[in-house]
């Protein structure tokens, strides 16, 4: 089992990242034992696909490293690094650019969403972003990629690229790449904005009230939950009663996911009650869950050198792990490499 996943070091780590991805990273790390290895990285190369501030990117890379460790990613058991220190990612992307098709990239919903009406004005990096993402996982022969639902299409593309490359340049009994499978938590595949139950919770939403950040204190969490958009109806006692109530469904899903119970069970406990009772309970659960993580995050941020050392050590391992597949890809393509 090779578990590989990444997160962009832009903005704060939020509840969607945590429930959709990071919590599974930690679970997989804790379960993997002798059965394989986990590699987790800061996708700093991806972060330059949109306008960015270089000073801020450096700071965010360290903050996201601290946030991941605070959430339970253990650098002594998992390989934790940032892409920029492992040139194999950029090299492999170039090799895969020969295989990826314009038509495939044109269909990516994230490209469509982020480029909007101004495609001509976007960076080429934003367009080829999913090829770098394919390189990220294929370099390590990833078998499992724990992500939220929004990354599913990018992983399907990674599979298509791997398959075409293997067919075009490798023999059937010695493929260069393993086809990776996404691993998406059913209960928290897509955590929605607290302000709009039809938009996903996201770092780029201009309203901070739309998301819970790892760094929010107890008062802020409670304030955001109380201000979360809902409707005037009480909670139903059956799941069907949440149809067409996107905001209510989102809050129930968050509660279930954090408490480790089913949505049905949340409705058994809170069905018939209004949000005046449910929101404070959810706020408390969030605070309880995040308080130790936030405290650890603040502690880790005191020691910048220790964070640099974690990334340097992880990068050295990642360079080693990626070398054989990178070499195999060069050779398969007939490229003479010194």
Minimum distance, C-beta of residue 55 to ligand TYM, in the bound complex (Å): 20
Distances (CA, A) of 138 to 12, 180, 301, 321: 27, 8, 32, 11
Q: Residues 84, 137, 267, 311: which binds ligand TYM (CB under 6 A)?
A: 137
Q: Which residues contact 165 (CB under 8 A, 6 or more apart)?
A: 96, 99, 176, 177, 329, 332
Per-residue contact flags (x/-) with ligand TYM for residues 188 to 207, judged by CB under 6 A: x-xx--------xxx-----
If the CB atoms of residues 43 and 318 are measured against ligand TYM, the closer one turns out to be: 43
CB 93 within 8 A of CB 46: no
For residue 11, state whether it binds ligand TYM (rule: CB under 6 A).
no
CB 194 within 8 A of CB 209: yes
Exposure pattern of 10-35 as b/e (b: 16+ CB <10 Å)? bbbbbbbbbbbbbbbbbebbeebeee
Minimum distance, C-beta of residue 155 to ligand TYM, in the bound complex (Å): 7
DSSP 74: -
For residue 253, state whether it binds ligand TYM (rule: CB under 6 A).
no
If the CB atoms of residues 71 and 188 are measured against ligand TYM, the closer one turns out to be: 188
319 burial level (CB within 10 Å; 0-12, 13-18, 19+): middle
For residue 20, state whether it binds ligand TYM (rule: CB under 6 A).
yes
Q: Residues 23, 40, 46, 314: which binds ligand TYM (CB under 6 A)?
A: 46
If the CB atoms of residues 26 and 303 are measured against ligand TYM, the closer one turns out to be: 26
Phi, psi of 107 (to 5 degrees): -85, -10
Closest-approach residue to ligand TYM (CB)? 20
Catalytic site positions: 114, 200, 203
Q: Which residues contact 222 (CB under 8 A, 6 or more apart)?
A: 280, 283, 284, 287
Find the part of the chain contacting ligand TYM (CB under 6 A) among 12-20, 73-81, 271-279, 296-304.
Answer: 12-20
If the CB atoms of residues 143 and 273 are measured against ligand TYM, the closer one turns out to be: 143
User: Which residues lie near ligand TYM (CB under 6 A)?
Assistant: 5-8, 16-17, 20-21, 43, 46, 133, 136-137, 145, 147-148, 150-151, 188, 190-191, 200-202
């Amino acid at each position: 089992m090779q578990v590989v996943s990444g997160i962009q070091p832009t903005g704060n780590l939020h509840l969607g990242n945590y429930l959709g991805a990071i919590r599974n990273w930690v679970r997989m790390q804790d379960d993997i034992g002798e059965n394989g290895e986990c590699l987790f990285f800061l996708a700093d190369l991806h972060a330059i696909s949109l306008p960015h501030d270089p000073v801020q990117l450096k700071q965010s890379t360290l903050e996201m490293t601290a946030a991941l460790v605070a959430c339970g990613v253990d650098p002594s058991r998992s390989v934790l690094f940032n892409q920029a220190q492992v040139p194999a990612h950029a090299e492999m992307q170039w090799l895969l650019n020969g295989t990826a098709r314009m038509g495939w990239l044109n269909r990516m919903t994230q490209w469509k969403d982020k480029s909007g009406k101004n495609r001509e004005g976007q960076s080429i990096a934003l367009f080829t972003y999913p090829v770098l993402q394919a390189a990220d996982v294929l370099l390590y022969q990833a078998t499992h990629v724990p992500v939220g639902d929004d990354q599913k299409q990018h992983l399907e593309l990674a599979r298509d690229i791997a398959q075409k490359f293997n067919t075009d340049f490798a023999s059937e009994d010695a493929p260069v790449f393993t086809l990776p499978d996404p691993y998406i938590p059913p209960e928290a595949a897509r955590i929605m904005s607290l302000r709009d139950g039809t938009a996903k919770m996201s770092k780029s939403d201009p309203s901070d009230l739309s998301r819970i950040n790892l760094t929010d204190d107890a008062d802020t969490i409670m304030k955001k939950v109380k201000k979360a958009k809902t409707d005037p109806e009480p909670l139903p006692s059956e799941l069907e009663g949440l149809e067409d109530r996107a905001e209510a469904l989102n809050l129930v899903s968050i509660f279930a996911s954090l408490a480790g119970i089913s949505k049905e069970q949340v409705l058994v406990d809170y069905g018939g009650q209004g949000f005046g009772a449910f929101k404070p309970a959810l706020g408390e659960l969030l605070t309880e869950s995040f308080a130790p993580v936030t405290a650890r995050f603040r502690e880790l941020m005191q020691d910048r050198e220790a964070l640099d050392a974690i990334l340097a050590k992880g990068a050295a391992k990642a360079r080693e792990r990626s070398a054989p597949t990178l070499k195999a890809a060069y050779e398969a393509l007939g490229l003479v490499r010194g």
